[in-house]
Structure 1
Amino acid sequence: MRSVKTLSPVALLKALQARAKLVKKKAFARGSEIGLILSSIAIGLAAGAAVSGMSWISRAMHNLIFGIEMSEWLSASEIENKTVVLIAPVCGGILLGLFLFILARRRKRQIVDPIEANALYGGRISLTDSFIVAAQNLISNGFGASVGLEAGYTQLSAGIGSKIGTKLKLRREDMRILVGCGAAGAIAAAFNAPLTGAFYAFELIIGTYSMVALAPVVISAIIATFVARALSGNSFVIEVGEIGVITPADYLPAILLGAICAVIGIVIMQGVAFIEEMARKSSIPPYVRPALGGIIVGLLGMVTPQVLSAGHGALHLNLDSDAPVKILIGIFLLKSLASAVSIGSGFRGGLFFASLFMGSLLGKIFGMPADLITTGSLTPTVLAVVGMSALAVAIIGGPLTMTFLALEITADFPITALVLAAVITSSVVVRTTFGYSFATWRFHLRGESIRSAHDVGWIRNLTVDKMMRADVKCARLGTGLDAFRETFPLGSAKRVILLDDSDRYAGIISLPDIYADEAEATRPRTSLVEFLSHQNDFLLPQMNARQAAAIFDQSHAEALAVVNNLIERKVIGQLSEAHTLRRYSEELDRQRREAVGEVT
């Protein structure tokens, strides 16, 4: 690389001008809401194109593998060759297993999804990892596994948003907003529902609502919807039948249906976790599991193709049909099992659309007992819409997201109010009895404590290692009092850390106590051991500010030593409670100011 000295004056001037333009562009994006909006437009365009592209690839795979028309949905098709239905998911499992085998050898780090990225990593997602997830999702869905493409849509679109934010070197909060823009665009395009996409981002990806995020997220959702509609037409539209008249008496069965959906949603989530746990405890390698899961999915698909793929066609098929309750129960059980086996065995995808399909089945099944509660004014279509929203809230989360989805697919305000009552009931029941959505439940099983996308990563980054003082006063435990006082005169330090003969932490001595005892006590203490405190209270460098504050509170200490680990206990620093709380408060205030858009 040439040094600045070798550049001609003209070349140096051009380089400085280019650098100034780049800095100005990044500063514009960082400090201006208009900059975020312009970035969100680009993300919306990319999200709409990504959703349309992935959807087209999936349909092309269904056309090639199962021999159906490009205009048909796999789950609503009549496939005469049952052997293909059995073999396709198995082949998909083998291909995905090979993918996982190669991936395990080349990439050791775990792939971060949008919720985890916004909660822990300040909105940073690897775009390469996002393409990997999208490819795995396409293989799973394309070969008929009972999973939707929404996981791939949101991962890829959020990854694009994160990449744009990284290139512009945006602040942590702005990065989180752009990740939300990507997810909003993906869901909006996938359902032709911009309000649904926007509130999906607010409730599930960003974790909070703010005026700063409102314009970028909504604009991204609208742009993505227009792009997907232009590229794919009305293929993403969910059409429902006649709604009918909603009466006040209909709220009671809707609330009851919401509670039932909550309980069933919890069972489904635990069922997926149970299958994953069984697979982990078995001696079957991870790259073999998808093929075995594909066998079960293929056998279920031979019973009815409605269990295959996400279930778009099956949803429309059942909304328009008057199938007997026994048939609906059978389809629901088969789809639940197929989805649990698909995800539990390692197929990549989500339960967003599957939960909508299963919820619509629950709503229609609930129609018979609902007639005993009310005057029978609730139509099967209304119950299907209420059921699909309530079960989706139980599994995915986002009560307002699912409420706006009901509004956008029905364009009917009375049923939206009915759905709102049901989803609130479902959400409350799940939160109070289970406490997790599908995504956060899987984080919990991996050992993560996050329950939403609310930003807690900054707390983990504010570690004891970053806050402590390394210049600590230390002395030997066997030092005499006179020698100690000579080495540490009054005022030279507030406290001294004592070490044993192996240089391991032994405790803390308050220097003023040493001199106060000499001046005031009738029988002065004779050794340093008598002044020791907090022998078993210390901090570790990887602890965060919240953990450190809890230890200070338990030990009633004003300051504690920091040791390298629990075994060696070598002192590497010291941290006071006052400094910990001050740094925590400063960081909390900075996060608050970023969230409301104040320049920091």
Structure 2
Amino acid sequence: MKEVVPQIYRRLLRLLRWRLWIVEKLRPSPWQETLAFAAVAGVLGALAALLFRHGIELVHYVLTGTGSGMVDSFRELEWWQRLAVPTVGGCAAGLVLLFGKRLHKGQSSTDYMEAILIGSGEIPVRASLVKSTAAMFSIGSGGSIGREGPMVQLAAVAASLLGRWRKLSAPQVRLLVACGGASGIASAYNAPIAGSFFVAEIILGTIAMESLGPLAVSAVAATLTVRTLSDAHTLYTVPAFTLNSLWEIGPFLVLGVLAGLLAPWFLRSLRWAERLFTATNLPVPLRLALGGLVVGCLAVWVPEVCGNGYSVVLAILNGELFWQALILVFVCKWVATAASFGSGAPGGVFTPTLFVGAALGYLFGQGVHAVWPAGAVDPRAFALVGMGALLAAASHAPVMAIIMLFEMTLSYDIIMPLMLCSVVAYYTARGIEDNSLYSEALKKKAAEAPLPTVLPGTVADLQRRTVAVQLTDHFEDIARRFLETRYEEIYVTTPEGKYAGVISLHDIKPHLHDETVATLVIAEDLRRDDSPTVTPEATLGDALRLFAQHSGQTLPVVDELTGHLTGTLVKNDLLLALLEGKGAVKRGGTLPPWRVG
């Protein structure tokens, strides 16, 4: 035993010397750690999105017997098959949701928005898998619904599992879930910048670098992963569009107003359809089957209503669809989307919204071109701008919409009318109605927040548990503690648990090359009592001021009356919590419960 202990101890010293070298030479910070986790979350999110995409293709092949695109495959089917496939798919999705309740045993169906806004960042895995499986049947059978919703949810689940596995704090896990959401959007649309701004602008309510930086890293990692493992390319390959003359600015402004007027009615139609289907009181499988039946009836004559509308948008942007036929497709697609969404089919309406905008823009451009050719030289350019304008008006996120349209098409010359039209559409829609594509869901989830904390919050809401050493602990015990924690400071207490000081990683540097210190040095010899402390009742603002005077990344939380060490406050957690509060105020005053628990 006498020979084994020194060998173990020498190994401890070697590991500590390596850690000290990393700290001194590379100077890793908590933010760099956050970026590393964000990159991993991006890769995991991309893998989850790719698996979901392959699942949709498998369901589609089983139901239709063909691996062609959604619209093309429905064109090859007989009329009764066009009717049956969406109905069967809707029923199957409903059965998955119904019997899936037994699998997750009443587990909450928390989605990524709820986990970011009001939760601790934990997303139920089984409930999410059940809902995503149901979405495969809805989408794969031709439902007029987007696939981006489940892809984002699965990516967020992967990020949440990563954060919980690494035992990160609640603010860090929430940020990691947001990174998962950004990676899901980036994977769905091959648009990393838009994926970052989607989460920052719509959900977090802030584009501060503390949150936007990790979101961008995650989205880029996801995009690179998708491009490596699949044949991902620019989503909408379109001809080069340009602003042909200044006279076109006038019609573009009018298009912005029209998009702003149409967006609220499009959203209202979805909510009306939802209330109408709910009023039927049908069981979930029958309600989803009814939604699929509506889509199937429309598909008998207009197969373009099936799917999320991507192929139809591509046809519009490339001038492959006559305006007379587009009017019929436009009306039928709107009804089909309302039926799919209203019936409760799992999925998203992001891509169907892009279709409505493209159809509106193209029809408007054709009308202007017929009356005044110089005002709309190329109606397809109006389709492209209409996509961004309606998305900006529906989501109330014009910056995200502008960036997304640019990334999906890489058409730089159209950026000026796109920016102008999107901003006009956004303000027009806001003037009519404050609700957006996601506002009702966000408000509903925020209203369900248990015991919301009022700004500025207290340290008790954020403090973490901490493991300290006692005054009489030997150097070997101190070394083990440093290898068990990610931080550069550990705290010292008396045997009664009262705070006695702090030991920094740099304080033990002189003893790392002398093996005899194990029996000679104790915590009492190394501790310092010059580090500031904070009480559990202190406000976050007071804690921030203490950090401004302290170079470390943690502060000991000490009870003012008893002097006992109750936990530790991490600077990164504090900054993220303040950032969340600022974003909540911008979203309308809903504050997250800042609990680490």
Query: Which residue matches 2:411?
Result: 412
1:126 to 124, 127, 142: 124
Give the deviation of 1:345 after TM superposition. Answer: 0.6
- Paired residues, number: 470
Give the deviation of 1:93 after TM superposition. Answer: 1.7
Check if 1:253 corresponds to 2:235.
no
Query: Which residue matches 1:593?
Result: 575
Give the deviation of 1:124 after TM superposition. Answer: 3.0
Contact 1:158–1:179 (Cα < 8 Å) also in 2 = yes
User: Partners of 1:20 and 1:459 in 2: how far apart?
Assistant: 42
Give the 3-state SS of the residue equivalent to 2:285 in structure 1: coil
Contact 1:119–1:456 (Cα < 8 Å) also in 2 = no
Query: Which residue matches 2:382?
Result: 383
**Aligned-pair identity (%):** 25
Give the deviation of 1:269 after TM superposition. Answer: 1.3
In the TM superposition, what whole-angstrom CA distance separates every residue of 1:220-262 from its partner, at most 9, and x where no partner exists?
1112112111222036621112313344333332222122122
Which sections of structure 1, spanning at least 5 residues, go unmatched? 1-7, 467-580
Contact 2:368–2:376 (Cα < 8 Å) also in 1 = no
User: Partners of 1:44 and 1:61 in 2: how far apart?
Assistant: 26
Give the 3-state SS of the residue equivalent to 1:237 in structure 2: coil
**What letter is aligned with 1:111?**
S
Query: Which residue matches 1:97?
Result: 94
Contact 1:155–1:183 (Cα < 8 Å) also in 2 = yes
C-alpha change, 1:442 and 1:228, in structure 2 (3 Å) is same
C-alpha change, 1:160 and 1:387, in structure 2 (3 Å) is same
Query: Which residue matches 1:85?
Result: 82
**What letter is aligned with 2:75?**
E
C-alpha change, 1:223 and 1:13, in structure 2 (3 Å) is same
Contact 1:29–1:35 (Cα < 8 Å) also in 2 = no
Query: Which residue matches 2:176?
Result: 178
C-alpha change, 1:267 and 1:162, in structure 2 (3 Å) is same
Contact 1:117–1:123 (Cα < 8 Å) also in 2 = yes
Give the deviation of 1:156 after TM superposition. Answer: 0.7
Contact 1:262–1:390 (Cα < 8 Å) also in 2 = yes
Give the 3-state SS of the residue equivalent to 1:287 in structure 2: helix
2:360 to 362, 366, 386: 362
Give the 3-state SS of the residue equivalent to 1:288 in structure 2: helix
Query: Which residue matches 1:507?
Result: none
**What letter is aligned with 2:92?**
L
**What letter is aligned with 2:576?**
E
Contact 1:394–1:430 (Cα < 8 Å) also in 2 = yes
User: Partners of 1:256 and 1:262 in 2: how far apart?
Assistant: 10
Query: Which residue matches 1:318?
Result: 316
User: Partners of 1:10 and 1:277 in 2: how far apart?
Assistant: 73
Query: Which residue matches 1:292?
Result: 290
C-alpha change, 1:410 and 1:291, in structure 2 (3 Å) is closer
| Structure 2 counterparts to residues 150-229 of structure 1, below 5 A | 150-229=148-227
| Structure 2 counterparts to residues 494-573 of structure 1, below 5 A | none
Give the deviation of 1:447 after TM superposition. Answer: 7.9
Query: Which residue matches 1:63?
Result: 61
**What letter is aligned with 1:281?**
A
Give the deviation of 1:308 after TM superposition. Answer: 0.8
What TM-score, normalized by structure 1, do the two folds share?
Answer: 0.69
Larger radius of gyration: 1
User: Partners of 2:183 and 2:356 in 1: how far apart?
Assistant: 24
Give the 3-state SS of the residue equivalent to 1:349 in structure 2: coil
C-alpha change, 1:283 and 1:132, in structure 2 (3 Å) is closer
Give the deviation of 1:207 after TM superposition. Answer: 2.2
Give the 3-state SS of the residue equivalent to 1:209 in structure 2: coil
**What letter is aligned with 1:120?**
I
In the TM superposition, what whole-angstrom CA distance separates every residue of 1:40-88 from its partner, at most 9, and x where no partner exists?
1211111222222222222232233223335x34467522322221111
Give the deviation of 1:298 after TM superposition. Answer: 0.7
C-alpha change, 1:206 and 1:169, in structure 2 (3 Å) is farther
User: Partners of 1:377 and 1:343 in 2: how far apart?
Assistant: 34
What TM-score, normalized by structure 2, do the two folds share?
Answer: 0.70
- Deviating more after overlay: 584-593 vs 141-150: 584-593
C-alpha change, 1:110 and 1:421, in structure 2 (3 Å) is farther
CA RMSD of aligned residues (A): 3.9
Check if 1:402 corresponds to 2:401.
yes
**What letter is aligned with 2:276?**
M
C-alpha change, 1:288 and 1:410, in structure 2 (3 Å) is closer
Which sections of structure 2, spanning at least 5 residues, go unmatched? 462-536, 546-570, 581-595
Query: Which residue matches 1:469?
Result: none
User: Partners of 2:56 and 2:6 in 1: how far apart?
Assistant: 54
Give the deviation of 1:9 after TM superposition. Answer: 8.2
Give the 3-state SS of the residue equivalent to 2:420 in structure 1: helix
User: Partners of 1:308 and 1:268 in 2: how far apart?
Assistant: 18
Contact 1:126–1:163 (Cα < 8 Å) also in 2 = no
Contact 1:133–1:155 (Cα < 8 Å) also in 2 = no
1:48 to 43, 46, 57: 46
